[in-house]
Amino acid sequence: MRRLCLVALAMLLAIGSITASRAPSVAEQAARLDADLTPVGAERAGNADGSIPAWTGGLPKAPPIDPKVGYVDPFADDKPLYTITAKNAAEYKDLLSAGHMTLLKRDARTFRMNVYPTRRSASYPEDVLAEVKKHAGTAKTDGYHVRDVGRSAVPFPIPENGLQVMWNHVFRWRGGSVERQYVWAPVDPSGKFYVVRFRMNVAYDQQGYMLDSREGRLYNATGFYLSPPAAIGIRAATWEPIDPVSDPRTRWVFLPQTLDTRRMPAYEYDTQEMLTGGLRLADQNDGWQGAPDRFSWKLIGKRELLIGYNGYRIADRTLRYPDIIRARNLDPDLLRYERHRVWVVEATRIKSHKFYRRVFYVDEDTWQVAQEEDYDKTGKLVRFGDYHMMQFYDVQVPWYAATINHDIGSGAYLVSYLNNMEPFPMRWGFKARINDYLPSRLRSLGLE
Q: Say which DSSP state 322 is in.
A: H
The pLDDT assigned to 446 comes to 64
In degrees, rounded to 5, the angle at the alpha carbon of residue 241 between the alpha carbons of residues 179 and 173 is: 50
Q: What is the mean pLDDT of each run of 10 residues along the chain (448 residues)?
A: 42 35 71 96 98 98 96 98 98 98 98 98 98 95 96 98 98 98 98 98 98 96 97 96 96 94 91 96 97 98 98 98 98 98 98 98 98 98 98 98 98 98 97 96 77
CB 290 within 8 A of CB 283: yes
What sign does the dihedral 202-208-213-218 (CA atoms) show? positive
CB 370 within 8 A of CB 362: yes
The pLDDT assigned to 27 comes to 83
CATH topology for the 82-444 domain: outer membrane lipoprotein receptor (LolB), chain A (2.50.20)
Nearest Cα residue to 388 out of 114, 67, 39, 33:
114
The pLDDT assigned to 4 comes to 41
d(CA 386, CA 379): 20
Q: What's the Cα-to-Cα distance from 231 to each of 223, 239, 263, 265, 296, rounded to whole Å?
A: 12, 22, 18, 20, 37
The pLDDT assigned to 30 comes to 87
In degrees, rounded to 5, the angle at the alpha carbon of residue 208 between the alpha carbons of residues 204 and 213 is: 85
For 407, the enclosing helix (H) or strand (E) is strand 397-407
d(CA 309, CA 351): 34
d(CA 248, CA 251): 10
pTM: 0.94
Residues 300, 305, 311, 314, Cα dihedral to 10°: -100
Q: What is the DSSP string of 171-233?
A: H--S-SEEEEEEEEEEE-TTS-B--EEEEEEEE-GGGT-BSS--TTEEEEEEEEEEESGGGTT
Question: How many Cα atoms are found within 13 Å in the side-chain-facing hemisphere of 416?
Answer: 22
